[in-house]
Amino acid sequence: MRRTIDWAGGAIVVIDQTALPGEYRLLELRTVGELVDAVKRLAVRGAPALGAAGALGVALSARLNGDVRKDAEVIAHARPTAVNLAWGVERALGKLGQGADAVLAEALALLDEDELLNKAASKHAAEIVLAACPRRPLRLLSHCNAGRLATVGWGSALGVVWHLHERGLVEEVLVDETRPLLQGARLTAWELAQEKVPYRVQPDGAAAAAMARGMVDCVLVGADRIAANGDVANKIGTYGLAIAARHHEIPFVVVAPSSTVDSKLADGTGIAIEERDARELTGYAGVPITPPDAQVFNPAFDVTPFELVTAVVTEHGRFRP
Ligand code: MRU
């Protein structure tokens, strides 16, 4: 299985996530402008993959003899919520004084670490899920995509599914479709199908009803930014899932590499929430689905207070606020 984002032949190569599941194609990003566009369009997405994009973007700028600090600023602000993007940029920038090759080496080291750290975080989380949920095999609920495609490799929340599936412990994954861009229906379902994990896609609005009907043993999600007190920003709809899970006494587990922790932020109120284009909601596949003058509220993320989370898990184990 190839990496979601990599470096080859002087370019950043990404799996184009706007084309999946219909078409599996690669994009070669040869300029900083092309990278920023790919990040904004969600051709490459998911917090850990954005960290890799940030670091490789700085490496690309350095190799092209660009205005690296200016490019770094633009890349870091391409999307505001996932802290990993700015973290990846900063990490690569730290090697700028040693030349372009050192910057690229640092970016590639970050890519190598990503898979190891997500594997470790999801292994810790798998043990926490097994301890919290007595039923076997497990029925898990997933939101957005926190799999291989959201990372360089392996995945965070979906990484837990891979560990549990290897041990024959997964009955099914209920996949929230994740309106409006359908990262669940398009990407998570595609990954689960590849790994032959039983799954069903459901509308986001079915999640609470599935819990009420006793169909869910544990909710597993990733994160885009975790504040020092443990508040979690993740894909819009995560907060509602956490409230429903608490009401039904279902464990709600967040899995992320520690690069997603923003220890400078005291709590989730300081997290910038990306608001996306109204057209993501006013039309579907080019067909208008609202009156032409409909006003839109389209936040890409929400913040779940730590008190609603059973465990936030990183490669270091259970996160302590
Ligand atoms: O808008 P996206 O698709 O980049 O949002 C992604 C998410 O919200 C993921 O759940 C999060 O980045 C964790 S991915 C391991």
Q: What is the CATH number of the domain that holds 21?
A: 1.20.120.420
What tokens does 16 get? 């184009």
Is residue 45 in contact with ligand 1, taking CB distance under 6 Å? Answer: yes
65 and 162 share one domain:
no
C-alpha to C-alpha distance for 132 and 251, rounded to whole angstroms? 7
For ligand 1, the distance from its centroid to the CA atom of residue 182, given in whole angstroms, is 11
Q: Domain of 224: which CATH number?
A: 3.40.50.10470
Task: Let me know the angle formed at the C-alpha of 41 by 110 and 116, rounded to the nearest 5 degrees.
Answer: 20
Look at residue 1 in the predicted model and tell me its pLDDT. Answer: 74
Total domains in the chain come to: 2
83 lines ligand 1 (CB under 6 A): no
**Are 239 and 90 found together in one domain?**
no
pTM for this one?
0.97
CB 35 within 8 A of CB 60: yes
Domain span including residue 301: 121-318
Going from the Cα of 238 to the center of ligand 1, the distance in angstroms, rounded, reads: 11
Residue to mutate, 224, 274, 309, 314, ligand 1, most ligand atoms under 8 Å from C-beta = 224
Which portions of the chain are predicted below pLDDT 70? none
In this structure, are 164 and 286 located in the same domain?
yes
Q: Which two tokens stand for residue 48?
A: 């850990």
Distance 49 CA to ligand 1 centre (A): 9
For residues 12 and 8, give the distance between their C-alpha atoms in angstroms, rounded to a whole number: 6
Report whether residue 191 contacts ligand 1, using a CB cutoff of 6 Å. no
Q: Please name the residue ranges forming H helices in the chain.
A: 32-40, 47-63, 68-76, 83-93, 100-132, 157-166, 189-194, 207-212, 238-247, 279-282
| pLDDT score for 44 | 98
Q: Within this chain, do residues 138 and 196 fall inside the same structural domain, yes or no?
A: yes
170 within ligand 1 shell (Cβ under 6 A) = no
**Whose CA is closest to 258, among 319, 199, 170, 204?**
319
Q: Do residues 176 and 304 both lie within one domain?
A: yes
Q: Which of 113, 144, 173 is the last residue of a domain?
A: 113
53: CA distance to ligand 1 center in Å?
A: 14
- Domain boundary (51, 80, 113) is at 113
- Which of 204, 224, 231, 302 is catalytic? The answer is 224
- Taking the C-alpha atoms of residue 283 and residue 276, their distance in angstroms, rounded to an integer, is 14
Is 156 near ligand 1, meaning CB less than 6 Å away?
yes
Judge if 184 and 312 occupy the same domain: yes
Count of residues for the chain?
Answer: 321
The position carrying tokens 């092209």 is 64
Are the C-beta atoms of residues 94 and 135 closer than 8 Å to each other?
Answer: no
Residues 99 and 219 in one domain: no
The residue whose CA is least distant from atom 14 of ligand 1 is: 146
Same domain, 108 and 126: no
Residues 107 and 58 in one domain: yes
Picking from 176, 161, 168, 96, the residue whose alpha carbon sits closest to that of residue 129 is 161
Assess whether 220 and 126 both reside in one domain: yes
Residue 258 sits in the same domain as residue 301: yes
Q: Please, are residues 226 and 312 in contact by the beta-carbon 8 Å criterion?
A: yes
Residues 81 and 61 placed together within one structural domain of the fold: yes
Atom of ligand 1 nearest to the CA of 156: 15
- Domain boundary (88, 113, 138) is at 113
Q: Which tens digits make up the pLDDT trace of 16-75?
A: 999 999 999 999 999 999 999 999 999 999 999 999 999 999 999 999 999 999 999 999
Q: Known catalytic residue: 176?
A: no
Bridge-based pairing state of the strands 170-176 and 138-142 = parallel
